[in-house]
Amino acid sequence: MSKSTTQASEHEETRNLTFPVRRGHLGPAVLDINKLYSEHGLFTYDPGFVATASCESAITYIDGEKGILLYRGYPIEQLAEKSTFLEVAYLLLYGELPLKHELERFLDAIRHHTLINESLLRFFNGFHHDAHPMAMLTGVVGSLSAFYPDAMEARDRSQQELFAQRIIAKMPTIAAAAYKHSVGHPFVYPRNELDYANNLLYMLFALPTADYVANPVAAQALDLLFVLHADHEQNASTSTVRLAGSSGTNPYAAITAGIGCLWGPAHGGANEAVINMLTEIADIKNIPRYVARAKDKNDTFRLMGFGHRVYKNYDPRAKIIRSMTYKVLENLGHRSDPLLDLAMKLEEIALKDEYFIERKLYPNVDFYSGIIYRALGIPTSMFTVMFAIARSVGWVAHWQEMVNDPEQRLGRPRQLYMGPLQRDYLQMSQRAGKVGSGI
């Protein structure tokens, strides 16, 4: 049967099905197809989950057409201007902005957990000095499950809270240790009198041989980047955390699955890929050649930091980062960065190009963030680690929402099977001319 005949007959078959519709507070309604297989013997087919809602969620909302991002209802622009990363973490985890004493208690709890077990520190020596920091982060965060087996009590609210506090507190310590290992410097312990961003900069850049005080503009910029990266509803890494967590695994292992997913250049690894791309482009005169490559379907090259599954408009986070980039560079004493000029010119050229206009491809959060990280002295290989520190808040909030949602079950997608029909095993002597298309 030809493909079109198959489609026509299946269209016929599904035409009269009706489904309950569920309406969220914002965004498109969803068809509830939970009974589609049990009642009609059909699956749906949606590679990449382009039109599939995997859960109900009350944490973050994106309107991709309008370029709107809300955390618990609050616009990202307001949070970026007025809030701090740990206040946003509280908001994402608990659903409301904290009262003064609630925030103080939360900050105290985070401070209480910033150290990591000394034996975890020794894990780093098992990595070669040039190991990618994301590989170290994956290994060491995964190992936290060995230290906190009680976290398996996923339904226990106090364990959930402890897990959240430990992840948020320990991610910077682990990230900084990965960096220190890669440059061969001694590990620097956290200082609990410092706030989150200052503490991270201190652990990254302090040496035992001298006093270190982070530039306040650097700390402020880092905190703002963390606010912008804290959550993004059902993105690939968050969905990975939910899926991994749905089996009841240790939540630290579920977070590790999310870190692994984030690393890829289509997701959080794009911030590193953008800087590599800009470095390769090197000169404004080369931009048209790279734009042509991005448009060429026979070339795998894409403009990194451009395009988004959900945003069909300017990513609101990119807008905020773009506008703060010059200020940060100036305040940190970098008059400019040639990569910033290159990035702005690339954006200008791409946004006037019919290919990008037609497909609604705009700069995303990763397009300008790397330029700020560079100005802060953070090496390119650490960019995605910075993203992971911030996004760990979203991962934990979604993991908690999932384990507390009575509707959530083991995540287990179905498939459209296109392999061989059932057949009998062939003895070696029977295989010649019938099988053997491998190596």
Q: How far, in Å, CA of 21 to CA of 299, rounded?
A: 42
- For residue 346, state whether it binds ligand CMC (rule: CB under 6 A): no
- For residue 361, state whether it binds ligand CMC (rule: CB under 6 A): yes
**Structure letter (DSSP) for residue 284:** G
Is 366 annotated in the active site? yes
Catalytic residue among 232, 308, 315, 398: 308
Q: How far, in Å, CA of 292 to CA of 301, rounded?
A: 10
- For residue 359, state whether it binds ligand CMC (rule: CB under 6 A): yes
Q: Please identify which residue in the block is written with the tokens 């599939």.
A: 52
- For residue 321, state whether it binds ligand CMC (rule: CB under 6 A): no
- Take residue 88 and report the two structure tokens written for it: 């946003």
- For residue 302, state whether it binds ligand CMC (rule: CB under 6 A): yes
Q: How far, in Å, CA of 120 to CA of 193, rounded?
A: 23
User: How many residues form the binding site for ligand CMC (CB under 6 A)?
Assistant: 20
Candidate residues 294, 371, 378, 403; the one interacting with ligand CMC per rule CB under 6 A = 294
Helix, coil or strand: residue 308: coil
CB atoms within 10 A of CB 164: 27
Candidate residues 172, 307, 316, 394; the one interacting with ligand CMC per rule CB under 6 A = 307
Which listed range, 74-82, 172-180, 210-218, 301-309, lies at the site for ligand CMC (CB under 6 A)?
301-309
Q: Please identify which residue in the block is written with the tokens 């809030």.
A: 83
Residues 55, 58, 63: CA angle, nearest 5 degrees: 85
- For residue 364, state whether it binds ligand CMC (rule: CB under 6 A): yes
- For residue 375, state whether it binds ligand CMC (rule: CB under 6 A): no
- For residue 304, state whether it binds ligand CMC (rule: CB under 6 A): yes
The pattern of x and - marking residues 193 through 232 that bind ligand CMC according to CB under 6 A reads ----------------------------------------
Candidate residues 124, 306, 362, 395; the one interacting with ligand CMC per rule CB under 6 A = 306
- For residue 174, state whether it binds ligand CMC (rule: CB under 6 A): no
- For residue 235, state whether it binds ligand CMC (rule: CB under 6 A): yes
Residue number of the CB closest to ligand CMC reads: 307
- For residue 270, state whether it binds ligand CMC (rule: CB under 6 A): yes
Least CB distance from residue 165 to ligand CMC, whole Å? 25
**Structure letter (DSSP) for residue 30:** E
Residues 261, 267, 273: CA angle, nearest 5 degrees: 115
| Cross-sheet strand order for the sheet of 74-75 | 60-63, 68-71, 74-75
What would the DSSP string read from start to end of 416-435?
Answer: ---SPPP-PPPPGGG-TTTS
- For residue 142, state whether it binds ligand CMC (rule: CB under 6 A): no
Is 132 annotated in the active site? no
Catalytic residue among 223, 231, 315, 366: 366
Closest C-alpha to 351, from 359, 282, 322? 359
DSSP alpha helix (H) spans, 125-207: 133-147, 157-183, 196-205
Do 371 and 340 contact (CB within 8 A), yes or no? Answer: yes
- For residue 308, state whether it binds ligand CMC (rule: CB under 6 A): yes
* Catalytic site positions: 308, 366
Q: Which positions touch ligand CMC (CB under 6 A)?
A: 48, 235, 266-268, 270, 294, 302-309, 359, 361, 364-366
